[in-house]
Structure 1
Amino acid sequence: MLAAERRTHLLGLLAREGKIVAKDVAAELRISEDSVRRDLRDLASEGLCQRVYGGALPVSPAVVDYAARQSVAPDGKQKVASMAAALVRPGGALILDGGTTALAVAQALPRDLICTVITHSPTIAAALLGHQQAELFLLGGRVFKHSAVTCGAAAVEAAQNVSADLCLLGVTGVHPEAGLTTGDAEEAAMKRALAARAADTYILASSEKIGTASRFRVLPWEEISGLITDADPHDAFIKQFKGLGVEVLTAG
């Protein structure tokens, strides 16, 4: 089989099965695992898959820059945001992550809601300036422009000195095997620091992130309270999440 044919086969397998297991492909095509791994490296370099131990998973579309992500699945993000905003109780304290879905959450909060919002995103803070009854705390640090958030040692230290009832956290990939992932190591560490300071943590995941993976793990499944998504409740991945004991809130 020619390299181009192997490439087409691998992409088709990824689309059908949601993953590639290198040793299985090698046995099926009667080629070496090294050949499969080389093909996967080439595909990953083009942004067509996310390599993991033993094979590859679909790559998340949410790894593009902040401006580009604003046009990705806007309807799905609005649905997720509306359901997430309904979890914020009057008088409560919310830790709100950065990113485009979190921005939609900020915009969905009632303008007269009395609450405290803690965020490491200047974009989120700016979006809430018109919410006169909301007290805002902005955590400082190095600005990670990809997601318009602060991260690094200073931001993590600041996060360790706050607490909240609820944390709404964004990720770029949600996969039953790879777990909850994002594309930057420091951003992943910041997300963990934020989640650790809330009584409940819910993941914001519009449907295009379901079944995909990025390079860095954020949290294990057992450390979240639930997943908020607009994905079809009958989707195979959603069924797998529920099988793992994850509470899935479906935004219709």
Structure 2
Amino acid sequence: MVQRPTTRRRQGGFTLLLAMGVVTMVTLAVLLSYGVVSREAEVQGDGRRYKEAYFAAEAGLAEGREAMRIRLGTDQTYSGVLAVLPVVNEPGLNGGDRPFLEVLEGPGGAGTWNSLAIVEEDLAPAERQSPTGEAFAAFPLQENVRYRVFARDDEDPVDPTDPTPANQGIRDTNKQVWLIAVGEVVGPANSRPTRAVIHALITNENAPAVTRPGSGSDSGGPEGTHDSGEEEPIDVENEVVVLSSTP
């Protein structure tokens, strides 16, 4: 005699299947939420690291601009500065006829990075506390943030004083050069770094000194710059011309 399942048994089996289905759906929902949260955390982390790299590049660009200004002195072009900067010959930085030049050498010399790490001992007392006077418990030391700065001549006319093609990459004739700053945040071992690159075209604003011809006999003021109102002859390429000192 075959025993048929009762109604209670059929209801118990359906409840078990329903419970297993609910557990499966909840598990899938949890896994999906975990994946979304993980991706969101990665995106936010990448954004934070990129901002750190960008600010490092900005700091390097400002420092490089000041270094170029100091090295320039009173020169009218950047040729003298470009001639003394070390040439960078690394993968991805081979500039060809217009080479990349290291503006700010790192602690290890040319080809090394400058660190943007914060040294707590160098901070002013006001930087170690909040506006309300509460001391900070810790600081973001930024030990993994660094930068490099390069200079590169722009496309300008050939220098007539040195028309050698091989030297045109370091001969500036239009008083403008490119500054390229690279900021980098180094991640854990075997991970890719996050980089930001900023470039700016800087211009030399040193103007040549212009003097006005004055009278040599009726001089007044420093170095005979007093205008006597008389016409003064000067010799220009073996020809004597007369410049009128009155408008």
Q: TM-score range by the shorter chain?
A: under 0.3
Higher strand fraction: Structure 1 or Structure 2?
1
Could you state the TM-score of these two structures normalised by the residue count of structure 2? Answer: 0.23
TM-score under structure 1 length normalisation: 0.23
